[in-house]
Structures are given as structure tokens and as C-alpha cells.
A and B are shown apart, each in its own frame.
Chain A
Amino acid sequence: MHELSIALKLVELACEHASSCQEMEVAAVHIAVGALSHIHAPSLLSGFAIAREGTLVSQAELIIRQIPLVLGCTDCDRDFESSGIQDLRCPICCGYSTLIRHGNELDLEFLSLRPRRDENTSIGSVSSPARI
């Protein structure tokens, strides 16, 4: 599954940034996942639990902020949130002149750091799609 590949790259990137932290450990890795990134969040959580072992982020939770697909119709000059990713037509004019405003994100946004403590077994969570 490619979520494991993604998780490995995420852990690698997070560790690069965490390496400069001295007395702190990474409590959480916060990422943004757009609807069009085609990432299955539960699989990514599972992959992260595997990928984080033995690394600088081994104690970290993965916090996923889901971003909905927002399209803009260049004919109607309006933006709209799409309910799914299967139909990229404008819901108003049914035309195909749409652009993707949000939804392609697959970003490491920030790391939450805390003083080092005992082992934490929590994997993480997924938040509801953010309203833009």
C-alpha cells in the first residue's frame, strides 16, 4: 500500500526537522491531507505507527487535518466545495472549466514538541474536514 511509502517519507522529513531539538521530543506530527491526494487516512495512521519505530518521532502521534476539495469555475466565477472527487464539473453550469483551489495538499505542517517522557503508545487522530 502506498500509504506506508508516504508514511516512511513523512517520518524521514519529520526526523530531519526534529533532529535540531535537544531536550524536547516530538509529541505530534501534524499534516494536512487534501481530498484529491488520494490518501486513506486510517491506512496512513497504521503506516505511521510502523514507520515511526526506532526513529526520532517514535513517541509521536500523527494528527491529520483533512482538507476538502474546493473547485473554482472560471465560467461562473465562483468557488464551491465539492462533495466528492469523482465529479469535477461545476454544480451550477455543469461545465468543465473548473480549477482546483484546495484539495491537493499532502503537507507536513508542524511538529508539536514536549519535554522527553516515558513511552507513549497512542498512534494519532484524524480531524474533520476544515471549513475554508
Chain B
Amino acid sequence: MQEPRILQVRTQILKKNDELARSMRVRFLQAGVFVSNWVSSPGSGKTTLLQATLTHLRNKGERVAAIVGDLETDNDARRLAQSGAPVRQIMTHGCCHLEANMVEEQLHDWSLPDLDYLFVENVGNLVCPTSWDLGESLRVALLSVTEGEDKPLKYPGLFNTSDVALLTKIDLSGPCEFDRDRALENIQRVRPGIPVFELSAKSGAGLDRWFQFLISQRSATMG
């Protein structure tokens, strides 16, 4: 029997996405726009917190924009647009995560040098977005107290591939009997050293520290 011939490839499977994401990252940095990719389960409070973040930054004179991913509806884009920031909605019609090319398509007639921050709100999903680099400088993982303190251990990928973790809806900690210490420990176990911010978009608790972190991250990235 003829021996099979081997054709060496040695290439990352997601090479195309990763190469596009890298080129987008360079493009963003050269344009001076700080891009963050927000990942979490559906219902974690991404949109509400993003709305507060957009509003705060706009009030400080920062130029902000957002891209939102959902399977269907443009409800989130409409909500975020109330901040006055330009917002675009990606409707994936079934795809459970955003990929770099989906984000790039939304940039076509935006002047990136005219933006300071671009926020990408990913499809609500604790699993699939982990593998897809969108060209961001900061990946933000959100966990609401209503989801329980075990979530980081159950879905380590999301936290392991993120740069900062936000513990949201802390005003509901009591009714949910949320074990804060356990949650913080679990986050560190799956992603040692990750900075964590505890906040409530509803009550305003912790928001200032989060805003300061975001601003300092942009400064550090842009140099």
C-alpha cells in the first residue's frame, strides 16, 4: 500500500481572523482610538453599563462610538444611541459570536482618527466569543451577581482570555446571597492577576473607579 504523503501546514486555524484582527489593532492604534470588546452572558448588564460609560465619557468631551452584536433586533443599539454617541448594530442572524471581519465591515465610513474610544459589545455568550480576536486593546468580561460565584469556574475560557473583569449589579448582592469573596477568588484562579471592578450601573457604585481605569488604559496604550 502506498504510504500517505504528508503536506506540512503548521498554521493556526483561525489565522485569517487573527491576521485581520492584528491589522485592525494596528489601524486603531495609529488612529488613536482605544477599542474594547465586551463579553459576558446575556443579561449581565453590558448594555446598561456601556450606556453609562458612553454618557460619562461624552460629558468629559471624549469622542466615543459603539458597535453592538446581537442575533436579532437593534434594541441595544437604540438604547446606546440615547447617549448621543454614534452606534451601529450587527445582527448576526444566528451566529453566536462576533468575528473580526464583522466589526471591520462596520467601520467603512467612520473616520477613526475622529474617535477616542470604540466599544464593541459582543453577542451575549459565555463560550464562543473567547476564540475570536476582534482587534481590541482591552477585553472586558462582565459577571453579574445574579449569575452566581461559580460562573468563572464553569466558564473559565471567557475570563482566562479577558484583560479586566467587572462584577456588575452589586446592588443585588444581598437578595441573591452572592458570595463575593468566593467569586473574586474564582476569577483569580482562572485568570491570575486580572483587575476586577465591582459596580452597579443602577446605583452608580464603583463607576468612577471603572471610568478612571478605562481612561488610564487608553493613556497607557496610546503612549
A17 to B8, CA, bound (A): 9
Are A110 and B6 in contact (CB-based, < 8 A)? yes
Contact A13 B4 (CB under 8 A): no
The residue that B10 contacts in the complex, of A106, A110, A115, with Cβ under 8 A, is: A110
Q: Does A101 contact B (CB under 8 A)?
A: no
B220 to chain A, nearest CB (A): 21
Q: Taking the complex as formed, is B214 at the interface, i.e. its CB lies under 8 A from any CB of chain A?
A: no
Least CB distance, B25 to chain A, in whole angstroms: 18
Tell me which residues across on chain B come within 8 A of A12, comparing CB atoms: 16
Contact flags B146-189 to A (C-beta < 8 A → 1, else 0): 00000001001100100000000000000000000000000011
Main secondary structure of the interface of B (DSSP, over half): mixed
Contact of B160 among A21, A36, A89, A113 (CB under 8 A): A36
Closest to A10 in B: B13
Interface status of B95 (Cβ within 8 A of chain A): yes
- Size range of the chain B interface in the assembly: 20 to 34
Q: B203 — which chain A residues lie within 8 A by C-beta?
A: none
- Return A120 CB to nearest CB of chain B, in Å: 13
Interface check A112, CB cutoff 8 A: yes
In the complex, per-residue mask of B3-18: 1 if CB is within 8 Å of any chain A CB, else 0? 0111111111111110
A85-B160, A96-B188 known; A106+B14 contact, CB < 8 A: yes
Among B127, B128, B192, max chain A CB count under 10 A is at B192
Chain A residue numbers with a CB within 8 Å of B14 are 6, 9, 106
A76 adjacent to chain B (CB < 8 Å)? no
Cβ-closest chain B residue relative to A28: B4
Whether B144 is near chain A, meaning CB under 8 Å from some CB there, is: no
Which residues of B169-223 have CB atoms within 8 Å of chain A's CB atoms? 188-193
Contact (A1, B13) CB under 8 Å given A36-B160, A87-B190: no
Cβ-defined contact, B9 with A110, below 8 A: yes
A86 in the interface (beta carbon within 8 A): yes
Residue of A nearest to B12 (CB): A107
**B111 part of interface (Cβ distance < 8 Å):** no
- Complex interface residues of chain A between 1 and 45 (CB less than 8 A to chain B): 1-2, 5-6, 9-10, 12-14, 17-18, 21, 24, 27-28, 31, 36-39
User: Taking the complex as formed, is B130 at the interface, i.e. its CB lies under 8 A from any CB of chain A?
Assistant: yes
Residue-wise interface mask of A (82-110) relative to B, using a CB-CB cutoff of 8 A (1 in contact, 0 not): 00011111000000111000000011111
Q: Given A1-B128, A2-B131, A5-B128, decide whether A89 and B6 contact each other with a Cβ distance below 8 A.
A: no
| Closest A residue, CB atoms, query B129 | A2
| Complex: A40 Cα to B118 Cα, angstroms | 32
A36-B157, A38-B127, A98-B192 known; A27 and B13 CB under 8 Å?
no
Q: CA A17 – CA B193 in complex, angstroms?
A: 40
In the A-B complex, the 5 residue pairs with the smallest Cβ-Cβ separation, listed nearest first, are A96-B192, A2-B128, A38-B157, A113-B5, A112-B4
Binding site for B on A (CB under 8 A): 1-2, 5-6, 9-10, 12-14, 17-18, 21, 24, 27-28, 31, 36-39, 85-89, 96-98, 106-115
Give me 9 other A-B pairs in contact (C-beta within 8 A), A6-B13, A38-B131, A88-B190 excluded. Answer: A2-B97, A5-B128, A13-B13, A21-B7, A38-B127, A86-B156, A98-B192, A112-B7, A114-B2
List 22 A-B residue pairs with CB atoms under 8 Å apart, sorted by A's residue number. Answer: A1-B128, A2-B97, A2-B128, A6-B13, A10-B13, A13-B9, A13-B11, A17-B9, A18-B7, A21-B7, A24-B5, A31-B13, A38-B131, A88-B160, A88-B189, A88-B192, A108-B12, A109-B9, A109-B10, A111-B9, A112-B5, A112-B7
